[in-house]
């Protein structure tokens, strides 16, 4: 037991003396969260809208005001002719334009109705679709109000009201925070463990550890401890950041979330040991972790691409990625506030993976060179 | 009881036969040397004896314990210093030593007596990182770490490779004192001149043991006459000498050539006369006492 604690202490000394690594490990989650949160955001924020029409027209002015008041949209330009729109897009001075026809108000009261055209930039189709749908929503609302004020009664019409139960504001952070959490926990646990064991292989110190009367199992366990603690620190920092900066709720039980994270961390540590068994140099270990663990996790865990829209074979493949199950559970607990009963299937799968990988990795760790 | 006893050990890496049919007996409390050039299979043999590797064939015992079955008990009673410096470079001298002491279930203080003499030389640098030590000090630290748990058998794989001549001499006198404290020392080296420091030695080449015995016995078994020949044109001289009748072998040895000859067929005068006939007028020769290197060359030629 004494030998075990001495090894754990030694492992911590290694980590704390390697300032660069510890810096990367502690800062990486912060950078990733901030990057995903602000830079890689798919949300539309303060889209620039140009208006083309007679601003002296009462209805035109009303709709323009409404657009400007919307928190996602902003009027930046009033144009007199539609020909100017293209120039605006080319100079990247507007994201969308709204064109009102001549005599808009009288057209609205007349029998033919009035027409309004929404033009989006469209070079980024996703953003354009979102902006134009925001604008058309605003115009629809305005049109209804206008018809009520004109006829005095509400015309019979049907408007579907769409509500997203757990993410009403459609914040992308609700999706990527659990994703980034899974990615980082896996990266730290598997890559750092693999590298730290392989490093001892490279320097020859593993030879000395093996010749000592300490059981290999304890050698491995002592190497895992620091990374377990580091990932706990990362888990906390990601949660704090996402809760207070990204405003992602933690609706479910924090204890349950921590338990799920712990099981996931154990799975990742076991994968790290497996990588260290098959690689003979630190570079190989890094490559295997990067190409063999991180990339499949990014692609198949549903962080970027939804698993449901993948071909069936790839969906099966995604089932063996532990991060997928962790992310599903993290989302359920954090966003939906789900309890133990509703994650029992995923939890069983992940625990099974953890037990299996841990058993295989400890068995495959050689007591000889 | 023999401290080390191995029989018919063989080990191959794929097609390459690293060690073939090696048998050794090392008595309790002696310094046993394994002498051989790089790639002779020394490190492989060390790894098999220290239970780090399994042999393809053969068996062995360390202090009466089987190297395969009782590997775990063997690990408690041996000290091993690999050829490559294998301590934690980012830990200080003291931390390294304490770590290895704890690993073997002991403390530095408890066994301070065992390592005192060596450790006192590096103790002034106790807080220095192991990676920042000089070569000689690294070697002393590694020896301390291998000795800190009072092993019965100490395995040293090429401990003096890459160490300066003065430190090498120091190191061998340390080994003598370690032996006096009752530890069996099994040491390998590529340097023939260190062979005389061992109580007994084995010479290994291409994975095979080519000779075993005390340094004196190996030297006295040398079957030929030996000459040290010098001349102005050394390389042509070497080729010419090899052509002379009765000359068994000739190789360059420092600033002269060592020439082995069959004493029943020829002698110094004849050889010298032949060399002068061949055009090496300034060539001189004198009788030399064979060293371990001469014996090694002779044995590996067979």
CATH code of the domain in which B96 resides: 3.40.50.300
Q: Cα A28 from chain centroid?
A: 15
Residues in chain B: 302
Same domain flag for B100 and B137: yes
Mean pLDDT of all residues belonging to chain A: 85
Residues in chain A: 369
Domain encompassing residue B129: 2-219
Task: List, edge to edge, every strand of the sheet that includes B284-287.
Answer: B247-253, B256-261, B225-230, B284-287
Q: Cα B179 from chain centroid?
A: 16
Residues of B in contact with A211 (CB under 8 A): 50-52, 75, 78, 80
* Partner-chain residue, chosen from A204, A207, A212, that has the shortest CB–CB distance to B103: A212
* Partner-chain residue, chosen from A6, A17, A211, that has the shortest CB–CB distance to B75: A211
Tell me how close the Cα of B224 comes to any Cα of chain A, in angstroms.
44
Interface mutation target, options A202, A211, A214, chain B, most CBs of B under 10 Å:
A211
The span from the first CA to the last CA of chain A, in angstroms, equals: 24
| β-bridge partners, A143 | none
DSSP state for residue A214 in the 8-state scheme: S
Q: Do A14 and B95 touch (CB under 8 A)?
A: no
Task: Say what the pLDDT of residue A32 is.
Answer: 81
State the greatest distance between any 2 C-alpha atoms of chain A, in Å, as a whole number.
95
pLDDT tier at A351, thresholds 50, 70, 90:
very high
A316-349 in b/e form (b: 16+ CB < 10 A) is ebbeebbbbbbbbbbbbbbbbebeeeebeebbeb
Q: Which stretches in chain B have pLDDT values below 70?
A: 302
Say if A217 is an interface residue toward chain B (CB within 8 Å). no
Beta carbons within 8 Å of B249's beta carbon, 6+ residues apart: B242, B259, B260, B297, B298, B301
Task: Say what the pLDDT of residue B146 is.
Answer: 93
Give one word for A346, left, alpha or beta, with left for phi > 0 and alpha for psi -120 to 50: alpha
- Of the candidates B219, B254, B270, which is a domain's last residue? B219
- Of the candidates B200, B219, B238, which is a domain's last residue? B219
pLDDT digits (tens, 9 = 90+) for A26-65: 888 888 878 876 766 666 778 889 998 888 888 888 888 8
Q: DSSP characters for chain B?
A: -EEEEEEEEEEEETTEEEEEEEEEEEETT-EEEEE--TTSSHHHHHHHHTTSS--SEEEEEETTEETTTTHHHHHHHEEEE-SS--S-TTSBHHHHHHHHHHHTT--TTTTHHHHHHHHHHHGGGTTSBGGGS-HHHHHHHHHHHHHTT--SEEEESSTTTT--HHHHHHHHHHHHHHHHTT-EEEEEES-GGGGGGSSEEEEEETTEEEEEE-HHHHHHT--SEEEEEE-SSHHHHHHHHHHSTTEEEEEEETTEEEEEE-TTT--HHHHHHHHHHTT-TT-EEEE----HHHHHHHHHH-
- Nearest residue of chain A to residue B72 (CA atoms): A213
Size of interface A-B (CB pairs under 8 A): 74
pLDDT digits (tens, 9 = 90+) for A137-187: 888 888 777 777 776 665 566 767 777 777 776 677 777 788 888 888 888
Three-class HEC string of A3-52: HHHHHHHHHHHHHHHCHHHHHHHHHHHHHHHHHHHHHCCCCCCCEEEEEE
The B residues from 96 to 135 touching A (CB cutoff 8 Å) are: 98-100, 102-105
Q: Do A204 and B86 touch (CB under 8 A)?
A: yes
Burial class (CB in 10 A: 0-12, 13-18, 19+), B278: middle
pTM: 0.78
Q: Do B76 and A213 touch (CB under 8 A)?
A: yes
Q: Do A13 and B90 touch (CB under 8 A)?
A: yes
Interface mutation target, options B49, B54, B88, B156, chain A, most CBs of A under 10 Å:
B88
- Nearest residue of chain B to residue A17 (CA atoms): B90
State the greatest distance between any 2 C-alpha atoms of chain B, in Å, as a whole number.
71
Q: How many domains does chain B contain in total?
A: 2
Which CATH topology does A47-165 take?
abc type-2 transporter like fold (3.40.1710)
- Of the candidates B191, B219, B247, which is a domain's last residue? B219
Name the 3-class secondary structure at A98: strand
CA dihedral B254, B257, B260, B264 (to 10 degrees): -140
Q: Do B86 and A18 touch (CB under 8 A)?
A: no
Segments making up each domain of chain A, as ranges:
47-165, 172-364
Long-range contacts at B65-69 (CB < 8 A, ≥ 24 apart)? B67/B6
Q: Do B105 and A213 touch (CB under 8 A)?
A: yes
Say if A65 is an interface residue toward chain B (CB within 8 Å). no
Same domain flag for B140 and B280: no
Say if A207 is an interface residue toward chain B (CB within 8 Å). yes
Give the C-alpha separation, B243 to B24, whole Å.
38
Task: Say what the pLDDT of residue B51 is.
Answer: 92
Say if B89 is an interface residue toward chain A (CB within 8 Å). yes
Beta carbons within 8 Å of A43's beta carbon, 6+ residues apart: A170, A171, A172
Tell me how close the Cα of A3 comes to any Cα of chain B, in angstroms.
5
Q: Do A367 and B71 touch (CB under 8 A)?
A: yes
Same domain flag for B293 and B153: no
Task: Say what the pLDDT of residue A156 is.
Answer: 61
Same domain flag for B177 and B253: no
Interface mutation target, options B102, B146, B186, chain A, most CBs of A under 10 Å:
B102
Give the C-alpha separation, A304 to A315, whole Å.
14
Name the 3-class secondary structure at A170: coil
Q: Do A369 and B104 touch (CB under 8 A)?
A: no
Residues of B in contact with A204 (CB under 8 A): 82, 84-86
Name the 3-class secondary structure at A208: helix
Interface mutation target, options B76, B86, B97, B103, chain A, most CBs of A under 10 Å:
B103
The A residues from 5 to 44 touching B (CB cutoff 8 Å) are: 6-7, 10, 13-14, 17-18
Q: Do A6 and B80 touch (CB under 8 A)?
A: no
**CB–CB of A130/A84 below 8 Å?**
no
Q: Which residue has the tokens 């990932």?
A: A231
Task: Say what the pLDDT of residue B302 is.
Answer: 65
Angle, in degrees to the nearest 10, between helices B135-147 and B165-180: 10
Give the C-alpha separation, B150 to B154, whole Å.
9
Same domain flag for B206 and B237: no
pLDDT digits (tens, 9 = 90+) for A61-89: 888 888 888 888 888 888 888 888 888 88
What number of other Cβ atoms are within 10 A of residue B50's Cβ?
27
Task: Say what the pLDDT of residue A154 is.
Answer: 59
Q: Do B102 and A209 touch (CB under 8 A)?
A: no
Residues of A in contact with B130 (CB under 8 A): none
Task: Say what the pLDDT of residue B209 is.
Answer: 93
Query: Once rounded to an integer, what is the mean pLDDT over residues A243-263?
Result: 90
Q: What is the CATH number of the domain that holds B255?
A: 3.30.70.100
For residue A153 the two structure tokens come to: 């009664």
Same domain flag for B63 and B208: yes
Q: Do A10 and B47 touch (CB under 8 A)?
A: no
Task: Say what the pLDDT of residue A169 is.
Answer: 67
- Nearest residue of chain B to residue A366 (CA atoms): B52
Query: Once rounded to an integer, what is the mean pLDDT over residues A1-8?
Result: 88
Residues of A in contact with B53 (CB under 8 A): 368-369
Q: Which residue has the tokens 């920042």?
A: B132
Beta carbons within 8 Å of B138's beta carbon, 6+ residues apart: B85, B87, B130
Tell me how close the Cα of B216 comes to any Cα of chain A, in angstroms.
34
Closest CA to B30 of B67, B50, B1: B1
Tell me how close the Cα of A5 comes to any Cα of chain B, in angstroms.
9
Give the C-alpha separation, B128 to A37, whole Å.
45
* Partner-chain residue, chosen from A7, A10, A211, that has the shortest CB–CB distance to B80: A211
Task: Say what the pLDDT of residue B92 is.
Answer: 95
For residue A266 the two structure tokens come to: 């154990």
Distances (CA, A) of B1 to A26, B26, B27, B74, B150: 57, 9, 7, 15, 19
What percent of chain A clears pLDDT 70, i.e. is strictly above it?
Answer: 95
């Amino acid at each position: 037991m004494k030998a075990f604690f001495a090894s754990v202490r030694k492992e911590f000394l290694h980590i704390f003396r390697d300032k660069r690594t510890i810096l990367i490990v502690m800062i990486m989650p912060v950078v990733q969260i901030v990057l995903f949160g602000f830079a890689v955001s798919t949300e539309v924020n303060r889209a620039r809208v140009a208006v083309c029409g007679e601003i002296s027209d009462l209805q035109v002015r009303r709709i323009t005001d409404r657009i400007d008041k919307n928190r996602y949209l902003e009027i930046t330009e009033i144009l007199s002719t539609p020909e100017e729109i293209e120039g605006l897009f080319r100079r990247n001075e507007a994201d969308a334009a709204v064109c009102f026809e001549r005599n808009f108000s009288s057209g609205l009261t007349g029998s033919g109705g009035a027409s309004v055209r929404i033009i989006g930039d469209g070079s980024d189709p996703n953003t354009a679709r979102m902006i134009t749908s925001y604008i058309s929503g605003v115009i629809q609302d305005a049109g209804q109000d206008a018809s009520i004020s004109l006829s005095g009664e509400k015309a019979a019409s049907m408007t579907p009201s769409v509500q997203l139960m757990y993410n009403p504001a459609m914040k992308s952070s609700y999706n990527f925070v659990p994703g980034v959490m899974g990615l980082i926990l896996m990266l730290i646990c598997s890559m750092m463990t693999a590298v730290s064991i392989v490093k001892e292989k490279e320097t020859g110190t593993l030879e000395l550890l093996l010749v000592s009367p300490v059981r290999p199992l304890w050698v491995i366990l002592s190497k895992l401890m620091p990374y377990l603690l580091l990932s706990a620190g990362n888990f906390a920092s990601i949660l704090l950041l996402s809760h207070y900066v990204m405003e992602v709720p933690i609706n479910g039980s924090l204890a349950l979330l921590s338990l799920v994270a712990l099981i996931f961390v154990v799975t990742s540590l076991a994968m790290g040991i497996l990588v260290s068994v098959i690689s003979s140099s630190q570079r190989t270990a890094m490559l295997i972790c990067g190409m063999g663990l991180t990339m499949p996790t990014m692609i198949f865990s549903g962080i970027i691409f939804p698993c449901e829209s993948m071909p069936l074979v790839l969906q099966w493949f995604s089932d063996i990625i532990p991060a997928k199950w962790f992310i599903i559970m993290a989302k359920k607990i954090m966003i939906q506030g789900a309890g133990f009963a509703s994650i029992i299937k995923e939890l069983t799968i992940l625990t099974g993976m953890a037990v299996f990988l841990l058993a295989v990795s400890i068995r495959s760790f050689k007591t000889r060179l | 009881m023999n401290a080390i006893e191995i029989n018919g050990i063989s080990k191959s890496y794929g097609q390459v036969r690293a060690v073939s049919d090696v048998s050794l007996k090392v008595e309790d409390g002696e310094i046993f040397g394994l002498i051989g050039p790089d790639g002779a299979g020394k490190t492989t043999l060390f790894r098999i004896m220290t239970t780090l590797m399994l042999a393809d064939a053969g068996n062995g015992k360390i202090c009466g314990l089987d190297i395969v079955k009782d590997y775990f008990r063997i690990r408690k009673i041996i000290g091993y210093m690999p050829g490559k410096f294998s301590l934690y470079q980012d830990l200080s001298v003291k931390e390294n030593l304490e770590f290895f002491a704890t690993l073997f279930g002991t403390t530095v203080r408890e066994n301070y007596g065992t390592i005192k003499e060596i450790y006192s030389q590096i103790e002034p640098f106790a807080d220095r990182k192991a990676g920042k030590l000089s070569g000689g000090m690294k070697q002393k630290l590694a020896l301390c770490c291998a000795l800190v748990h009072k092993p019965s058998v100490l395995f040293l794989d090429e401990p003096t490779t890459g160490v300066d001549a003065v430190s090498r001499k120091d190191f061998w006198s340390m080994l003598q004192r370690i032996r006096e404290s009752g530890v069996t020392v099994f040491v390998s080296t590529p340097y023939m001149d260190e062979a005389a420091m061992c109580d007994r030695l084995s010479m290994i080449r291409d994975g095979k043991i080519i000779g075993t015995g005390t340094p004196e016995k190996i030297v006295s078994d040398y079957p030929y006459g030996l000459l040290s020949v010098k001349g102005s044109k050394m390389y042509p001289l070497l080729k010419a000498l090899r052509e002379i009748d009765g000359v068994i072998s000739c190789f360059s040895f420092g600033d002269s050539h060592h020439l082995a000859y069959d004493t029943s067929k020829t002698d110094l005068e004849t050889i010298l006369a032949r060399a002068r006939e061949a055009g090496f007028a300034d060539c001189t020769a004198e009788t030399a006492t064979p060293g371990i290197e001469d014996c090694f060359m002779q044995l590996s030629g067979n």
